Chain A
Amino acid sequence: MTHLPSSTRHEPPPNKPPRFRSMPDTTKPTPQGTTRAAHYAAWILACTTFPLIWMGGLVTTYAAGMAVPDWPSTYGYNLFLYPLESWLQVWDVFLEHGHRLLGSVVGIATIVLAILLWRRDTRPTMWWVAGIALAGVCLQGVLGGLRVVGSKIFDTEIAWMPAPVFLTIAAAALVFLVQAIPPGAAGRRKLGFWIRAAIVSGLFAALAWFGIAAVEDRLFLAKVHGCTAPAFFALAAGTVVATSPRWVESSQPTETPFATRLQCLTTLAAGAIYLQIILGANLRHIAPNAAPWWFTLWIWLHVIVACGIVLLILWLFVTARRHTPNEPLLRRRISLLAGLFAFQLLLGVTTWVTNYGWPLWFTENILAVEYTVVAESLWQALSTTAHVGVGSLCLATATSAALWSQRLLKFPSASPPPRADKYRNTPTGQSKRNRRQ
C-alpha cells in the first residue's frame, strides 16, 4: 500500500516539470531559510492582532466606536497625523483612534507576511492563506469604517473614501492571480485560469455588494466586524503554525488509531468556539429596540454551547493525555486550550455579574448577596473585554491544536480503527481516509 505525500494535490508528479512559475520544486520540504522570515512575520501579525482585539473590545465596552465620527480620517486629519495631545486628551477618542492606528499596524504586518509567503513559500496553500489574510484585513478595515460612517458613505463629499480600500483589495486579488497562474499566453488562456479569475472576482464583488447592502445597519456591521477579528486572529495563529520549522520538519506523522478522533475533536472545538464567539457578538451588540426575548435566546444559546464546549474539551483532553504520550507539542496545546477555556468560563461568570448582577435564584437559594452593579467600572470593563480577548485566544489555540493534530498524527494504515467505521474498508482494501492522504 503506497502512501502519497500529504501535499500531493498541489505538487506535480516527480517526472513532470514544475507547473507554476514561482514553485521551483515542492517535492522537497521548504528549506528553513525561506520560511523563517515568514514565520517571524506571522508571529508579529499574531502578536499585534491580539492587542488589537482587546482594543476593539474596549471600544465596544465603552461604546467609543462613534467617538471619531469620520473615517478613514480622524476629525479631518490624516489617520497618522492626528495631534498626539488631542488623541490622549479624551478616553473614548484615545480608544477609537488607537484602535485604528493599531489596525493599520496589523494591516502593514499582513502585507509584509503576504509578500513573504508569496515570494518565499513554495506551498500553494500558503499563497491562498496569504491572499485570504490580505483580503481579510482589508475587509475588516472596511467593515470597521462602514460601522462608523454608515450610510454617510454615499454622500458625495466622502464617496471616494472607501475607493482606496477596494482598489487595494482588487490589486491584491490581481497580484494573487498573477502569482498563481501558469506562465505564458497559452497558459493564461486556459479555462482553469478564467474559472479562478471568475471565482476570485465574484468573491470580491460579493464582498463589496455585502458591504453596500449591509451598510445601513451599523449594528449588523459591528457584529460582523466583531466576528471577523477572531477569525483573522485564528488565521494568523494558523500561519504561525504552518510556517514553523517544526511543521516543515514533521513530515512523518505518528500512527495512532486515535488520530481521527483527535483531529475531529480539535476541529470541532475550533468550530464550536467560533460559534460561541458569534453568539457572544449577538449578545454584545444587541439592538436597543430588540424584542425582550432576543437577549434571553442568545444568552441561553451561549450557555448551552459553552456546556457543549466544556464536554468537547474534556473529551479531547482525556484522549490526548491517554493516547498521545509521544506528542508533547500537541498535548501542550490541548492542555493550554483546556486551561484557557476554564479561565474563559470564569470570565464569563464575572462578566455576567459585573454587568447584570447575581441571578435571583443564586441570591435566594445559595448566598445572600446584595451587590450593586457599577456601570463602566474598571472591573466591568476589564472582565467584559478579557472575555472577548480570551475567547479569541481559545479559538487561536484550538486552531493551532487542530492543525498540529492533522500534521503530527495519522491513522495507521494496517490496523483497524478502535470502533466500527463505515469507511474502514473499501473494495481496494484501503481506507478512504488514507486514500485521501
Chain B
Amino acid sequence: MPDAIRTIQRAFLVCLALAFPGCKSANESPSFRINLEGRHPAEVSQTQRDAINQTMEEFFGTPDKPRLPEGTGLDLDRIMMAAGPVAGNADGTQQGLFRQHCATCHGISGDGAGALATTFNPYPRDFRRGTFKYTTTRADAKPLRSDLQRTLLRGIPGTGMPSFSELPTGQLEALVEYVVYLSLRGETEQYLIQLVLDEGEYLPLGTDAKEMILEDATLWVAEQWADVEQNPNEYIVPVPPRPVYASDAQFAESVARGKRLYSSKDAQCVQCHGPDGAGDGEDDEIYDDWNKPKKGVTPEQTAKLSRLYTLPIQKLRARDFREGAFRGGSNPEDLYRRVHIGIKGTPMPAAGPQPGAKGVFTPQDIWDVVNYVLSLSGED
C-alpha cells in the first residue's frame, strides 16, 4: 500500500505542476480592451493608447464601475446591476449578470472575442459596431430594446447563443441595457480612435476635443437609440396579416409565385441559398461585416489581414431552408421581417420597401416568398 500511495502522490504532484502554469492569467478587475482591430499594434503609440483609454474611462468608467455621460438616456441602475463581478444578496437580487452569462463569449468589452469565441460559428456578436442582426426595425435603424430582449428570451437556435427564458424580466432588462451601454461605448471609441490616429488630434485631449467627441459620437449614437424607442411607429417595419388561402390550390399558387420571385434575377436569393434553397448557392465566399475587412484578394493577403484581428476570418453559411428552423425565428411573421428588413451586418439584403426606395418585393411578394421557403421544409 505505501508504494501505491507514493505513486499516487507523485501522480498528484505532477498533475498539480501541470495545472498551475497559466492559471494566474485571470485578472480580478478586468478592464475594457482598446479596439485596435485591423490596425498594426506598432501604428498606435503608448501615448495614444493612454489618451484613448483615459478618455473612455472618463466617459464610461470601468467594467466594475461603469459611468455614463449626461444626456445619454441610459438607465445607470440597470447597467450597474449587469456590471461588475458576479455577486448575490440575501434578498436574491443579482449583480454581475453580464460576466455571469455573457462575458465568456462576448468578452468583457463586448467585442465578441471572449474565451469561448473561437468555438462558435458564427462568432459571438461584437456589440461595438452598434449593429444587431435580428430586429423589427428598418434596415438603417437601431434595434428596439424589445428586439434585443426577444433574442435573449428565444436564444438563437443552432448557435451557442442560449435562451435566457429562465431569467426574471428585471435581469433581462438589465442585460439589454448593458448591451446598449457597450454598444454606445464601442461606437464612441471607434470615433475617438479615428480622431486620434487618423486625424492626428493633439494629445493630451483637451476639453474642447472631449466635448466634440461627446457631441458628435456619444450623444449622436444615444439619440439614435432613444429615437427608435420614442417613435417606434416610424422605425418598426409593419407586418401585414398573412393572407388566408381558401384552398390548397390557392396556397400552391402562392408557393409557385414565391418560387418564381425567389429565382428572379432582381432578388438574387439563388446566389447564396441555391436554386432549391439548400444553402448551396454559387456564391460560397460570403462574409458578414465583422469578417469582410479580413478578406484580401489573394489567400496570402487574407492571411496577412487576418493577423490584424483578434479572431481569424470566418465564412458565413447561407441558410438551408429544408432544415425548417431559422436563427431569427421560425414563425411566418419572423420570416416576413427577415425578407423585408434583411439581416443587418450580413449580405442578406432588405428586399422590402424602405423609406425612399421601392424595394425588390411588395408585401404580397414577401408573403409568397415566405410561403415558398416554408414549403421547402414541409411546413405551411
Contacts and interface: CB of A to CB of B under 8 A. Distances in A.
A374 B166 contact: yes
B28 interface: yes
Contacts of B33: 289
A66 B94 CA distance: 10
Interface stretch (B1-9, B222-230, B297-305): B1-9
A425 B232 CA distance: 88
B24 interface: yes
B25 A375 contact: no
Given A292-B114, A295-B119, A403-B4, A370 B88 contact: no
A31 B118 CA distance: 60
A402 B30 contact: no
A370 B324 contact: yes
Contact of B19 (A90, A91, A282, A291): A282
Interface string B139-172: 0000000000000001111111111111100000
B219 interface: no
Interface string A277-309: 011011001111111111110010000000000
A356 B115 CA distance: 13
A399 to B, nearest CB: 7
A435 to B, nearest CB: 12
Interface string A149-187: 011000000000000000000000000000000000000
Contacts of B160: 356-357, 373
Given A374-B166, A375-B163, A125 B155 contact: no
B11 A270 contact: yes
A287 B28 CA distance: 9
A212 to B, nearest CB: 14
B118 A372 contact: no
Contacts of A198: none
A129 B158 CA distance: 50
Interface in A72-119: 75, 86, 89-93, 96
A263 interface: yes
Contact of B114 (A66, A288, A375): A288
A242 B91 CA distance: 46
A370 B157 CA distance: 5
B153 to A, nearest CB: 10
A299 B118 CA distance: 11
B50 interface: no
A380 to B, nearest CB: 8
Interface in B164-199: 164-167
A365 to B, nearest CB: 12
A310 interface: no
Interface in A1-50: 6-7, 9-10
A249 interface: no
Contacts of B104: 286, 288, 295
A135 B90 CA distance: 32
A295 B162 contact: no
A191 interface: no
Interface string B316-332: 01001011110000000
A275 interface: yes
A327 interface: no
A368 interface: yes
Contacts of B30: 287-289
A3 B261 CA distance: 90
B245 interface: no
Interface string B1-23: 11111011001101110110001
Which 3 pairs across A and B sit closest by C-beta, in order of nearness? A370-B325, A271-B11, A67-B88
Given A238-B8, A267-B8, A275-B18, 4 more contacts: A217-B26, A220-B26, A289-B26, A293-B118
15 contacts: A86-B90, A93-B92, A238-B8, A287-B115, A288-B99, A292-B117, A356-B116, A363-B158, A372-B154, A372-B155, A372-B156, A373-B160, A373-B162, A375-B164, A402-B4
